[in-house]
Structure 1
Amino acid sequence: MTPDGDAPLGLRERKKRETRVALSRATIRLCVERGWENVTVEDIAAAANVSVRTFRNYFAGKAEAVAASHVERMLRIADELRARPAAEPLWDAVTAAVLAEFGAPGDQADQAVAESPHARRWRDGVRLMLAEPALQGEIVKANAAAQGELARAVAERTDGDAAHDVYPKLLAAVVSAASSVAVEHSLTAEPPTAVGPLLAEVLERLAMGLRAP
């Protein structure tokens, strides 16, 4: 324990975050593999090796658990952005943080994986899952939370105020939109395309007109 007592709280929060991630991933995997209607909370709890009560402590239902992955991904991007060198230009730092999470542009081997039968089945399952009406509202809420977290990280790098300044909010919204476009295109493109190269292309196009303050 540190003198100010912060370490135990940090450990608890980290373990809670890990549990949220495990539950969210288990929910997504089962829903993609079995179909939305064929997965129960009991199935998810068993897959994550926790009790149903534990699942309920974190999520109200499957939709919230699935959407939580988007928030967690943006938390990791925000963490990576905070860890980037202070002297690095903002957009370069943002791009590196995003691609570290989604995957940087790959080689032909990455594309081969994207075109494999297993990847195609997974892609089709994700597309069906995301079309579930029950998921739409949760995705909207998750997106708002994700953008807020990234805006705070941007504000720290620009000495701004995430609550009152426009730029951190704008940049966070742009990154969120770019990610959504790349993911959606990756799920529908023919032939299949890995999300990393798509997102790198989108961010590069944005870099031409989005200047840091």
Structure 2
Amino acid sequence: MVVDMTAEGNDGVGLRERKKRETRLALSQATIHLCVERGWSNVTVEDIAAAANVSVRTFRNYFSSKAEAIAASHLERALQLADELRARPVDEHLWDSIVRAVQAQLAPGEGNGGGSPHDQRRPDGLRLLLTEPALHGEILKADAAAQDELAKAIAERTGTDVAHDVYPKLVAAVVGAGTAVAVTHCLNADRPIPLGPLLREVFDQLTAGLPVP
């Protein structure tokens, strides 16, 4: 019997990368949860490591700071958005695929009614974290990396070259801007606004060419 060692090795690499990605996300989510619950200044790396059931050394292997750990969730969401876009039917209109992929990541299951107390506290937590000065630089870096990943997926979908064609980069930048506008609008609203329908409204206006109201 001949064993395909190359395939086996590739599976091993893929599994290791998935586990690293899962660990990064778990540490990031633990950081966000603790900072929302206790306040930015009242959370230490030791607290985060304990909450994630890992050593402080493990945390340091992945992140240099709390800010970097929090920004990692933003980047992970972008990776999942790119994966979601790649999984959409190839005959689906690009912008329909983009909107559905964005909604799947940012507003999953919205419209089912209700919502847990944790869901209802989430906007206040996001406001708190996004106004923390220590986060701004890391969020900007995560935004840039997220845009690059989405551009790659758009290039694959459209048969363009991300290194030479402006189109995939432009679409990725527009998606990032539109999503940011929708999320900020929801956070700043006087009354709760469901994010899913607002995302659809934003992208409907974009695909219509932003006609003057």
Using the size of structure 2 for normalisation, the TM-score is 0.90
CA gap 1:2/1:193 in 2 versus in 1, 3 angstroms: farther
In structure 1, the residue matched to 2:57 is 53
Identity %: 65
Cα deviation for residue 108 of structure 1 reads 7.2
Structure 1's unaligned 5+ residue stretches are none
Q: Which is bigger in relative contact order (C-alpha 8 A, separation at least 6)? A: 1
- Give distance in 2, aligned partners of 1:18 and 1:108: 27
**Alpha-carbon deviation of 1:197?**
2.0
Equivalent pairs counted in the alignment come to 206
Amino acid at match of 2:52: A
CA pair 20-117 structure 1, distance change in 2 beyond 3 A: closer
Gaps of 5+ in 2: none
The structure-2 alpha-carbon separation of the partners of 1:129 and 1:106, relative to structure 1 and needing over 3 Å to count, comes to closer
Aligned to 1:132: 132
Secondary structure of the corresponding residue to residue 162 of structure 2: coil
Structure 1 stretch displaced more, 200-209 or 17-26: 200-209
Please give the alpha-carbon distance, in whole angstroms, between the structure 2 residues aligned to 1:140 and 1:121. Answer: 24
Alpha-carbon distance in structure 2 between the residues aligned to 1:119 and 1:154: 31
Paired with 2:112 and 2:15, the residues of 1 have a C-alpha distance of 40
- Tell me if 1:82 matches 2:105: no
Q: 1:58 to 1:201 in 2, by over 3 A?
A: same
Q: CA RMSD in A?
A: 1.9
Distance 1:154 1:20 in 2: 25
Q: Which runs of 4+ in 1 moved over 6 A?
A: none
Q: Which residue of 2 aligns with 1:180?
A: 180
Q: Is residue 72 of structure 2 the alignment partner of residue 68 of structure 1? A: yes
Partner letter of residue 25 of structure 2?
V
Check the 8 A contact 1:105/1:196 in 2, yes or no. no
- Indicate how the Cα distance of structure 1 residues 146 and 63 shifts in structure 2: closer, same or farther if over 3 A, else same: same
8 Å Cα contact 2:99/2:199 also seen in 1:
no
Q: Are 1:78 and 1:150, in contact at CA under 8 Å, matched by a contact in 2?
A: yes
Match runs of 1:1-213 below 5 Å? 3-4=5-6, 5-103=9-107, 106-107=110-111, 109=113, 112-113=114-115, 119-209=119-209
| Shift, 1:118, TM fit | 5.1
C-alpha displacement of 1:107: 3.3
Tell whether the 8 Å contact from 1:105 to 1:200 is kept in structure 2 after alignment. Answer: no
Shift of 1:59: 0.6
Secondary structure class of the residue paired with 2:5: coil
- Distance in 2 of aligned mates of 1:92 and 1:126: 27
Q: What displacement does 1:84 show?
A: 1.1
